[in-house]
Homo-oligomer: A and B are copies of this chain.
Amino acid sequence: MDRPVGEKSSGAPTIVEVDLGNRSYPTDIGSGLLDQPELLQKHVHGKKVIVVTNTTIAPLYLDKVVEALTKGNPAVSVEYVILPDGEKFKDMDTLMKVFDKAIESRLDRRFTFVALGGGVIGDMCGFAAASFLHGVNFIQIPTTVMAQVDSSVGGKTGINHPLGKNLIGAFYQPQCVLIDTDTLDTLPDRELASGLAEVIKYGLIRDAEFFEWQEKNMEKLIASNISYTSTVVLSSLLQGIFLQAYMQSGVVNCRNPNALAYAIKRSCENKAEVVSLDEKESGLRATLNLGHTFGHAIETGFGYGQCLHGEAVAAGTVMAVDMSYRLGWIDSSIVKRVDDILPRAKLPTASPETMTVEMFKSVMALDKKVADGLLRLILLKGPLGNCVFTDEQLSNNF
Contacts and interface: CB of A to CB of B under 8 A. Distances in A.
A202 to B, nearest CB: 21
Nearest to A375: B108
Interface in A9-65: 46-48
B133 A103 contact: no
Interface in A349-365: 365
Interface in A123-160: 127, 130-135, 156, 158
Nearest to A368: B133
A372 interface: yes
B135 A167 contact: no
Contacts of A161: 99-100, 103
Given A99-B161, A103-B163, A135 B171 contact: yes
A371 B164 contact: no
Q: How many identical chains are in the complex? A: 2
Given A92-B92, A365-B106, A132 B371 contact: no
Contacts of A92: 92, 96
A280 interface: yes
A333 B158 CA distance: 52
Nearest to A46: B372
A335 interface: no
Contact of A366 (B47, B106, B127, B130): B106
Contact of A99 (B131, B167, B170, B171): B167
Residue of A47, A134, A163, A171 with highest tally of chain B CB at under 10 A: A134
Interface of A: 46-48, 92, 96, 99-100, 103-104, 106, 108-110, 127, 130-135, 156, 158, 161, 163-164, 166-171, 280-281, 365-366, 368, 370-373
Closest 6 interchain pairs by CB?
A: A108-B370, A103-B163, A110-B371, A131-B168, A133-B368, A134-B169
18 contacts: A46-B372, A92-B92, A103-B167, A104-B163, A106-B365, A106-B370, A108-B370, A108-B371, A109-B371, A131-B158, A131-B168, A132-B167, A132-B168, A133-B368, A134-B170, A134-B171, A134-B368, A170-B170
Given A103-B167, A133-B167, A135-B280, 10 more contacts: A99-B161, A99-B167, A99-B168, A103-B161, A106-B365, A131-B168, A131-B169, A134-B170, A134-B171, A170-B170
